[in-house]
Amino acid sequence: MSLARMEVYEQEFRNLEDSLRRLRLDANAKAVFLIDRNGQHIAAAGDTDQFDSTSLASLTAGNVAATDGLAKLIGEREFSVLFHEGQRDHIHISIVARRAILLVIFDERSSLGLVRLRVKRASTEMDRVFEQMDQKAEMGVQGEAEPSPFSEITDEDIDALFSE
């Protein structure tokens, strides 16, 4: 995994989505989101339309980053699980493969115990997918064996983005 970028290919993306869908059903959650620790939305499952996923990703990453800062202040490496309890909806946040954040939104149809249990299993699955992503990144292999589309970006392509 390079410091400069994170790349998700077709196969790994589908695998992550499958894990999220299973987690959502098994935990009886409203929606589940996978977010990069820098605040980028990676994938989601469930009733995602009712949430602003971009804002959710950014605020969740900020929340985790701030909590990490707190952990270090008291000599902990990290707080690996965060839980926010609302009147109707609750949020369970956990770290996956040290670089991603799993966010589960649930209500009275589920419980914290059930969510924690199912998150544990899903995290193990997703750890494996991230390992595959690392291996591909190390080998420089892309899932579709296509050349990097970015090596051929021209100045005109970039200018066109700003032409409006």
Partner 1 sequence: MTFINYAAREINCKIVYYGPGLGGKTTNLQYIYNKTAPERKGKMISLATEADRTLFFDFLPLDLGTIRGFNTRFHLYTVPGQVFYDASRKLILKGVDGVVFVADSQPERMEANVESIRNLELNLRDHGFDLVTMPLALQFNKRDISGAVPSDEMYRMLNYKREPTFEAVATDGLGVFDTLKSVAKQVLVELRRK
Closest approach, Cβ 139 to partner 1, in A, equals 15
144 scored as a contact of partner 1 (CB under 8 A): yes
Bridge partners, residue 105, by sequence: 31, 91
87 or 154: CB nearest partner 1: 154
11 membership: H or E segment, kind and range = helix 10-26
Among 4, 74, 139, 145, binds partner 1 (CB under 8 A): 4
Half-sphere exposure of 34 (CA within 13 A, CB side): 30
Contacting partner 1 (CB under 8 A), which of 38, 111, 124, 135?
38
Name the residue among 96, 103, 131, 79 with its Cα closest to residue 30.
Answer: 103
- How far apart are alpha carbons 24 and 47 in whole angstroms? 10
**Site of interaction with partner 1 (CB under 8 A):** 2-10, 13-14, 36-40, 42, 52, 54-55, 58-59, 62, 65-66, 68-69, 142-144, 149-153, 157-158, 160-162, 164
